[in-house]
Structure 1
Amino acid sequence: MDYAAEFKKFLTSHQTSLAVRVTFSVVLPPLVFYNLGHLAIGAAMSIGALCTSLTDTPGPPHHRRNGFYASIALNCITAFIVGLTNSWHIVLGAEIVFFSFLFSFLSVFGTRAGSVGNLALLVLILMIDSKKSQTQVLLNSLYIALGGVWYAFISLVLYRIFPYRLAQQAVGESIISVSRYFRIKARFYETSGGFEDAYNALMKEQVVLQEQQAQVRELLFKTRRIVNDSTIKSRVLLMMFVDSVDLFEMILSSQQDYNVLHEQFDGSGILGEVGDLILRMADTLESIGLAVQASDAYRIAPDNSLKSLERTLDSIRDKVPPEGYTSLRHIFQNIRDIRERMHRLSLYTHYDGLTGTGNKGEIDYTRFITHTPIDAQVFVDNLNMRSQVFRHSIRLALAMLVGYIVSRFLPWGHGYWILLSISVILKPIFGSTKRLYFQRLGGTLVGAAAGGLLLYFVANGPVLMTVMIVTMIIGYSVQKRDFFIYSILVTVFVLIAFHFLYNHDFREIVRDRVVDTAIGSFIALGAGFIFIPSWSHETMRESMRAMIRANQRYFALVARSYTGNTASVNDFKVARKEAFVALANLSDNFQRILTEPRSKRQNVSFMHQFVVSCQMFTAHTASLAYYEQTLQKRYALENFDGVVREVNVHLDDARRLLGDEPAARQAAAESGGNAPVEPESDPTRLSARHTVADQFDILHTLSRDIENAVRKYGRAAA
């Protein structure tokens, strides 16, 4: 592992930048007002800054700005209402139920609205034990709002100074994710057989990659400055992201029958060399992503490994089957095209006039983004038990009420730690709740031990303050990547902060933190299992339907190129995006099922067969699209209308078995008419035609596998 590169990646990431902003905005007010003799004002501003800063997720500036406004207003109102009524336990209990439901339900309007609601819930939790007069409550609410304004000011000013910084970080991180996906592909060349772990790793990375690409689309395509500006930097950022998605398709399109390849080439050692080359290329791609993220220029060093591999293959040509030789030749061509696209990406990092002359106008960016309207009808439409958000909101409200009641009977501790643990751990799907339960509880125990030892041996105030700031920065930097480490670091931060604020015996603080967190974690886990639980298998059928629809649309548009018509660039790219997103959602749903209780993991083998078949179908459709580009036009010796029709028949049958009746249509009409093909004697072109025919045959087989997996799944579930 290149530790210097890993450190640079960490240092220049968006999460680290956000963590530094959050830490600065949260720590500075208490320090300033402590020296002025008004620590309470600084503490209130700190809460306001924290509860506004965590809504600052990547996105277009007007969305971030509106999120700040909504968060500041909601936090202020919540603090005022709870501050006035927290002396009346019954009223406060009713408020906890109502606000927990309402704030959680805001997620129907999108991720940012959900973050605003979650942070308002945090304000509610922190205000539960605050005992103040009416005047103090009003002032405290205004100070919390002022803290939010303070953070929003910092964030928006930094955006004005560095308008492209966030976009560069997001694009760079998405390229780094593509490099991780590429590195996993090398496993298929390193060993024969036992590819299940590699396929599972691909599925997991696919989920992360699609989340990042969706975030980048939201950021780039909804930002007027980037889409409409004619500056070199705005053009390059758009082209860089579009090319990185094309590069991912190239990597995906390298799908082969790896068992057959190993049978044919294991004795030669050439597959191991291919795997080593892919690993080196993945390292280079990661370096390009890191350069984009850090706003550096990068230049790819020359590498003659591919030519050496081609010479090796030619030297053993007579010793291997012709089909194997042709497959490996196409793999080499795919690698060459990937290297050319990587070279183009590396040129983009220089942001010069030459790389900024690409055409942005051919792509309709509005078709690649989704809009979640803030509409009362959306709110009303989700007020039913079919809505996962509605069920989760009820579950959270009941769990918070149980946690509040339990906290009233405890003779020690801070009740808000119980409620805080519930709000953090309890998620819409039980599998996610279970994972966070162990990570939060384990992280708190380790963090409490580390923090307790630190407070026992270190009494120097500046040293403890330094440790507190460092743990906060690192903790918020790794929050999304490793919640266990985050829980450790945030526990250390909280213990030191309470030591400064209240100067209590640190052993009492450690005990309260551990016990209350354990209680809250157990309530959250129990609520996820008992209160109208949501299991991932309940949504699996819809994920399967969406996957088949997306694959069918993607295949139809690609097949047009081989039957006389060509789809528009926009139609093709939208269909490709929808297929990739559907595959990521399907994989994520399946991975969550594997974390749930055994009694809820029924028919897993059939689901796994379906997921793998769909993953391979998407990959081979991408291969077909890649061959259409690289092999120059159509090389069909026979009419492909028949196999296109058969593929659609199998996929239509699979949809019907899942309760999704496809629209009546003719498969051949969907793919277009077939152009006449002149006889060909060129061996290279004949090989190309054979390769295309093989891809159609594989897709036909996979469509049948998908239908069979759905049929078995339906029988077992009946």
Structure 2
Amino acid sequence: MHYALNLRTFFYSHYFHLGLRFAAGLVGVTIIAQQFAGMAVAMTVCIGALCTALMDMPSPLKHKFNEMLASVLLCTAVTLLISLCGPVPWLLMTMLVLVSFFASMMVVYGKKSMPLQLATLFIMTMSMEHQMTARESFRHAGLFLLGSVAYLGYAMALAWLLRHRIKQQVLAEALFELAAYIDIKADFYDTRYNLTEQFNKLVRHQALLADRQQASRDLILRSHQNRKDAIVVQIHVCMLDLYEQILSTHTDYALLRTHLADAPVLATLHDLAYKAARDIESVGYAVTRKLPSHAAISYAPEMEALEAAIAQLQADANAGKPAGEALAVLRAQRNKIRAIIRMIGELHVASQKEYEGTPFWVDADMQPFLSQQKYELQLMLSHFRMDSPIFRFSLRVAMAIAAGLAVGHVLPYAAHSYWIVLTIVIILKPSFSMTKQRRSDRIVGTIIGCVITALILKFVEAQAVIIGILILATVATPTFIYVRYRYAAIAVSIMILLQMHLIAPGNTSLITERLVDTFIGAAVATVFSFVLANWEYQTLPRLIRQVLDVNLRYMQASFDLLQGKSRNDFPYRIERKRLMDSLAGLSAALVRMMDEPASKQRAAEDINLFIVQNYLLVAHVAALRAILRRHVKDIPADAVNAMLAQSHAQVFQTLSRALAQHGQPMPPQPAPTSAMAAAPEPATEPGAHADVAWSGWPVVQRRIRLLQADADKIIVHSEAIVRNVSISAM
């Protein structure tokens, strides 16, 4: 369950606060406007505020102002343009299609441009029903601009006042998602769950976690100037370090299940992971309430049981029973769990202190960690080609809206073309799977919303109660739009229908007409979702090349850090973030492909395993870092570095071959060192280093064997993907 849907955390989430801010702004602007003019003027001002409110999302202040100002200017221009064209039907139809196309092209600027596209198409739809003179058009646009600017000023003032609070809420969301990530890992110890399915679930959630961590970075690392900001920075840094430690806990779960299936120690490990997740949630919950967090969970019973299980396995091994491998894995997991518990303790402490300065990298350039948003005209123009998914999507939207207008024009009943077009705008998305999900949510949400509204109008006569319900629906609409769109569709249906009832009471056909118009719009959007469709398998080769390319750079930075060539882990952190982002992008594309028709799916199993194997490489590197830190005493640096260098060369060659399979030239091999020539094979048994007494040899060698084995599997899946995807995409 999403943390914002839990009653315990719902009222502290930034989603609920967004709903309150949204409703207070809209209602406030409308009431003030109504005091100086009639309801018609107030509604125009309200629509202006509504379009600007669609851009009211957690963002750094400068970015937020630029995004909302772009909405104010663009939506005002569209309002004026459509209003001026209203008296000339053919010109109006032409402008509607052109605006639809160019508004959809804005999707090229990324996820944050999606609300701007929606706001533009929404005001285009709202403006097309009214025929005005030129004078009335300018007056209408002026009132719209007034409402937009009023909400802009209101939103920016609140964002400045609550800037630290918003950082806390976004950081807390990342902590809750990290806890959910650990819950998935806990089930690896439960034999009732299939390991392959758990890996798939883990990788899918990793994409969501990466998105939440990026949102936290963008808000927290752009500006951190006072003591309060220093606290959230410290918690954020501790969270990222804890995440890497959690990555390192990946182990041979199949081996543990084989040797310890009937032993209670697996349940103990599951309980430890479950407690760790609840512990992290407690930090997130404290952050949402602006309180310091204090450890309240004891791991002592489980740790004692784990130590007893290790002692029993040691006794079995001493007695000649085959328990050696399971014992080594269990000891490694115990050490990692200890480290995780210690780091969760540091997370609690980080929320309690006030820092004089920010503890992040001093004078470091944070730009590689932050989302880069550039709104350049050249970027849009570069996508004016038929092989561009964004260009094809824009054509698809324009054609669908033209068809929706035509259908609304010929229907025998008093159809509302703007409602049909609005339904098309809301449902039709860049990918088939997103369109499919949005269509389902829109239809179900509209039906439920219409039924609820009908019951309200039948049994509630007091206007004050209806207005109260309207305000609640206004709060719920933005609250759920990014969490559960179906709930938002219910709320927005109630909100709009109650508004129309208050403006024009007595219209008994209002609800029925909206339902019919919604079904028509959904049908048109469904038909056009197949027109010039961009199927996910067509983008997979590019995403796979990107993963392999970034993984090569990540491995270079990782082994430089492991071998001590780089004392600063800043480059390693950057490359790890880039690799996780690229894996999240590929994983999201795979999930979307699985929602498409079966005939458009390619190599789903191999792509999934390809993602898992790349993810495991990150886990193995994180484990190697943890091992080298834990066994730093008496480490034979030259021998270890030579072994790491040889392993790096082998993994680099493997990934380069996989990249070459996808049409990329093989990058130059890392230059060999003199130590590499004298290095023993990384896969040799621990006895090969008997002349060097170091406790880390067995675990380092075992982890390197796993790293190389998983790298080799990438080649196998890469070949299968080339056969099934690349050829089809040609």
CA contact (8 A) 1:554 1:621 kept: no
Matched, 1:658 2:666: no
Can you list the C-alpha shifts for 1:97-128, whole angstroms capped at 9, x where unaligned? 11111112123234434432331221111111
Instruction: Give the match for residue 237 of structure 1.
Output: 232
The aligned residue for residue 492 of structure 1 is 494
Residue 287 of structure 1, CA deviation: 1.8
Cα distance in structure 2, aligned partners of 1:118 and 1:4: 24
Q: Structure 1 residue 92: deviation in Å? A: 1.2
How far did residue 392 of structure 1 move?
A: 1.3
Partner of 1:490: helix, strand, or coil? helix
Does the CA contact (< 8 Å) of 1:306 and 1:332 recur in 2? no
Matched, 1:455 2:463: no
Whether the aligned pair in 1 keeps the contact of 2:231 and 2:355 (CA below 8 Å) is no
Task: Kindly provide the CA deviation profile for residues 127-177 of structure 1, in whole angstroms up to 9, marking residues without a partner as x.
Answer: 111233333322221111111111111111113323312211111111111
How far is 1:628 from its partner?
3.1
> What do residues 156-199 of structure 1 show as CA deviations (whole Å, max 9, x unaligned)?
11133233122111111111111111111111012266123322
Judge conservation of contact 1:557–1:567 (CA < 8 Å) in 2. no
Give 1:662 shift. 2.9
Q: Alpha carbons of 1:280 and 1:158: their partners in 2 closer, same or farther (altered >3 Å)? A: same
Aligned-partner SS, 1:12: coil
CA displacement at 1:479 relative to structure 2:
1.2
Q: Distance in 1 between matches of 2:378 and 2:675?
A: 38
Cross-structure match for 2:6 = 6
Counterpart code for 2:487: I
Q: Is the 8 A contact 1:639 1:674 kept in 2?
A: no
Aligned ranges 1:706-717 → 2 under 5 Å: 706-717=714-725
- Alpha-carbon offset, residue 679 of structure 1: 6.3
The answer as to whether partners of 1:363 and 1:569 remain within 8 angstroms in 2 is no
2:55 aligned counterpart, secondary structure? coil
Which AA in structure 2 matches 1:25? G
Which residue identity is paired with 1:423?
A: V
1:192-241 Cα deviation digits (max 9, x unpaired): 66123322221221121111222222223333xx2xx2x21222222221
Structure 1 position 306, deviation (Å): 4.5
Letter of the 1:315 partner, please give it: A
CA distance, structure 2, for counterparts of residue 420 and residue 377 of structure 1: 29
> Deviation digits for residues 320-340 of structure 1, max 9, x if unmatched?
612212211221221222222
Contact residue 617 and residue 702 of structure 1 kept, 8 A: yes
Classify 1:682/1:182 alpha carbon distance in 2 versus 1 (closer, same or farther; 3 Å).
Answer: farther
Match of 1:167 in 2: 167
Contact 2:61–2:160 (CA under 8 A) maintained in structure 1: no
Deviation at 1:35, TM superposition (A): 5.6
Q: In 1, distance between residues paired with 2:542 and 2:4?
A: 44
Please tell me the residue identity of whatever aligns with 2:423: S
In the alignment, the residues of structure 2 paired with residue 7 and residue 631 of structure 1 have an alpha-carbon distance, to the nearest angstrom, of: 45
Deviates more, 1:483-492 or 1:213-222: 213-222
Question: Is the contact made by 2:400 and 2:525 (CA closer than 8 Å) also made in structure 1?
Answer: yes
Q: In the alignment, what sits opposite 1:367?
A: 368
Whether 1:431 aligns to 2:433 is: yes
Residue 643 of structure 1, aligned match among 633, 640, 647: 647
The alpha-carbon deviation at position 363 of structure 1 amounts to 4.1
Does the residue aligned with 1:639 lie in a helix, a strand or coil?
A: helix
Cα distance in 2 for partners of 1:535, 1:548 equals: 22
Match of 2:406 in 1: 405
Q: Distance in 2 between matches of 1:669 and 1:85?
A: 72
More displaced 10-residue stretch of structure 1: 560-569 or 247-256: 560-569
> Which of 462, 466, 469 is 2:468 aligned to?
466
User: For each residue in 1:297-317, what CA deviation from the matched residue of structure 2 results, as whole angstroms up to 9, or x when unmatched?
Assistant: 210125113431333223312
How far off is 1:10 after superposition?
Answer: 1.3
Distance in 1, matches of 2:522 and 2:405, equals 13
Q: Within the alignment, does 1:319 sit opposite 2:316 as a pair?
A: yes
Taking structure 1 as reference, are residues 674 and 138 closer, same or farther at Cα in structure 2, changes over 3 Å only? farther
Which position in structure 2 is the counterpart of 1:267?
Answer: 262
Inter-CA distance 7–220: structure 2 relative to 1 (3 Å threshold): same
- Give the 3-state SS of the residue equivalent to 2:293 in structure 1: coil
Q: What do the CA deviations read for 1:623-681 (whole angstroms, capped 9, x no partner)?
A: 22332333338665673333322222221111111112232233647999999999678
Is the Cα–Cα contact under 8 Å of residues 214 and 371 in structure 2 kept in the other structure? no
**Using the alignment, how far apart are the partners of 2:133 and 2:2 within structure 1?**
57
Alignment of 1:57-206 (within 5 A): 57-191=57-191, 194-206=194-206
Say if 1:3 and 1:615 are closer, same or farther in 2 by CA, change over 3 A: closer
Determine if contact 2:4/2:15 at 8 Å carries over to the other structure: no
Report the CA distance between 1:563 and its aligned residue.
4.0
Within-5 A mapping of 1:203-602: 203-223=203-223, 226=224, 229=225, 231-301=226-296, 303=298, 304-317=300-313, 318-319=315-316, 321-353=323-355, 358-361=359-362, 363-410=364-411, 411-506=413-508, 508-530=509-531, 532-563=532-563, 565-566=565-566, 568-602=568-602
Q: Tell me, what secondary structure is at the counterpart of 1:267?
A: coil
Counterpart-to-counterpart distance in 1, 2:433 and 2:210: 20
Q: Once the 2 structures are TM-superposed, how far is the Cα of residue 504 of structure 1 from its aligned partner? A: 3.6
CA contact (8 A) 1:60 1:219 kept: yes
**What secondary structure does 1:300 align onto?**
coil
Query: Counterpart amino acid of 2:242?
Result: L
Please say which of residues 279-288 and 310-319 is displaced more in the overlay.
310-319
Question: For the Cα contact (< 8 Å) 2:109–2:373, is it kept in 1?
Answer: yes
**Whole-Å Cα distance in 2 between the matches of residues 621 and 542 of structure 1?**
25
Amino acid paired to 2:709: T
Rounded to whole Å, the distance in 2 between the matches of 1:670 and 1:123 is 68
- 1:592 Cα deviation after fit: 0.7
Using the size of structure 1 for normalisation, the TM-score is: 0.93
Residue 290 of structure 1 and its aligned partner are, at CA, apart by 2.0
1:144–1:295 distance in 2 versus 1, CA, 3 Å? same
Q: Is the 8 A contact 2:268 2:302 kept in 1?
A: no
Amino acid at match of 1:191: T
* Secondary structure class of the residue paired with 2:529: helix
Contact 2:649 2:669 in 1 (8 A): no
Deviation at 1:34, TM superposition (A): 4.3
CA distance in 2, matches of 1:2, 1:55: 22
**d(CA) in 2 for partners of 1:172, 1:334:** 24
Superposed CA offset, 1:251-309 (max 9, x none) = 12211111111111122211111111211210121121122123122101251134313
| Counterpart contact for 1:417–1:516, Cα < 8 Å | yes
Q: Distance in 2 between matches of 1:625 and 1:463?
A: 61
Q: Secondary structure at the match of 1:566?
A: coil
What is the distance in 2 between the residues matched to 1:216 and 1:523?
A: 39
| 90-99 vs 343-352, which moves further | 343-352
- Given that 1:557 and 1:671 are in contact with CA atoms closer than 8 Å, whether structure 2 keeps it comes out as no
Q: Secondary structure of 2:442's match?
A: helix
* CA distance in structure 1 between the partners assigned to 2:472 and 2:609 by the alignment: 46
Aligned mates of 2:363, 2:628 — CA distance in 1: 20
**Aligned residue number for residue 706 of structure 2:** 698
CA distance in 2, matches of 1:673, 1:14: 57
Question: 2:470–2:498: 8 Å Cα contact kept in structure 1?
Answer: yes
Counterpart-to-counterpart distance in 1, 2:630 and 2:488: 46
Task: Return the alpha-carbon distance in structure 1 between the equivalents of residues 574 and 153 of structure 2.
Answer: 37
Match of 1:51 in 2: 51
* 8 A contact 2:220–2:229 mirrored in 1: no
CA distance in structure 2 between the partners assigned to 1:373 and 1:63 by the alignment? 11
Aligned pair count reads 708
